[in-house]
Amino acid sequence: MKHLSFSSFNLSFYFYFLIDEGSSSATTKAVRSFKIFNHDSWPEQRHLLTDYGAEELDFLLDHFSPILTRNGCDANLAREEYQSMKIFIVSNYMDKSYHALWGMMLTKMPFCSDYKNILHLVHIMLALPVSSAVCERGFSSQRRIKSDVRGSLHVDTVEDLIRISMEGPSIDEFDAKEAVDMWLNQAQRSRRPNYKGWPTQATYPPPRGDLS
């Protein structure tokens, strides 16, 4: 499993929506399907709890399959983990709030290991924007970064540049010293920052006398 920080997964999720061609109705259904992780709405009867959320889970695993696969999520194991996780939470943690529960499951051992596949969907759920403003800024950044003259940029490079544009410090606050040091010292060949190139026009010394 590839381990991601929350901010990294957050931006990857936004970027996935920027390049995804899925319909708005499918996106709406996906958002609604995340209700299966609201433990306050789970049925109290054990036989009803077993089947609860199976259809919505299948839809979520299919809808987000590109980003889930890229980050090492096994869909079949996610289905098994969801079943056991429901029973575990109902038996032990129904008194916890929504944010406290998933914060614990995502960060504490052995939960983040035992349920690592299904927790990929929890990461996505917690990264859902409350408005479209962030996505709109993402579109603007993408158009500005991947212009006609930079159309061959790799997807990972575009994603990194969007992250810098949206989450990085302002120009006034950015200290370039560390970046310049890395540029100078980590290249395969030595850098020549003082190299000025050839002069644009050749200059010759004035003649010292008539040679005729």
Tens of pLDDT, residue by residue over 118-175, are 999 999 988 876 666 767 777 888 888 888 888 788 888 888 888 888 877 787 888 8
* Averaged pLDDT for residues 29-57: 90
Domain range summary for the chain, segments of one domain joined by +: 6-126, 136-185
> What pLDDT was estimated at residue 86?
94
Half-sphere exposure of 12 (CA within 13 A, CB side): 20
pLDDT higher than 60, residue 18:
no
* Averaged pLDDT for residues 14-37: 69
pLDDT higher than 50, residue 6:
no
Whether the CB-CB separation of 66 and 16 falls below 8 Å is answered with yes
C-alpha Rg value of the chain to the nearest Å? 26
pLDDT top residue among 104 and 175: 104
What are the distances in angstroms from CA 78 to CA 13, 70, 197, 203?
19, 15, 58, 72
User: What are residue 46's phi and psi, to 5 degrees?
Assistant: -60, -40
> What pLDDT was estimated at residue 144?
86
- Of 78-92, 130-144, 176-190, give the range with the top mean pLDDT: 78-92
The whole-chain average pLDDT of the chain stands at 80
Helix and strand counts by DSSP (H, E) for the chain = 12, 0
pLDDT higher than 90, residue 60:
yes
Residues in the chain: 212
> What pLDDT was estimated at residue 203?
57
How far apart are alpha carbons 88 and 114 in whole angstroms? 11
pLDDT higher than 90, residue 65:
yes
Q: What is the pTM of this model?
A: 0.54
> What pLDDT was estimated at residue 10?
46
* Averaged pLDDT for residues 26-37: 88
- Token output for 187: 């290249």
pLDDT higher than 50, residue 116:
yes
pLDDT top residue among 22 and 172: 172
- Token output for 114: 């035992």
* Averaged pLDDT for residues 5-16: 46
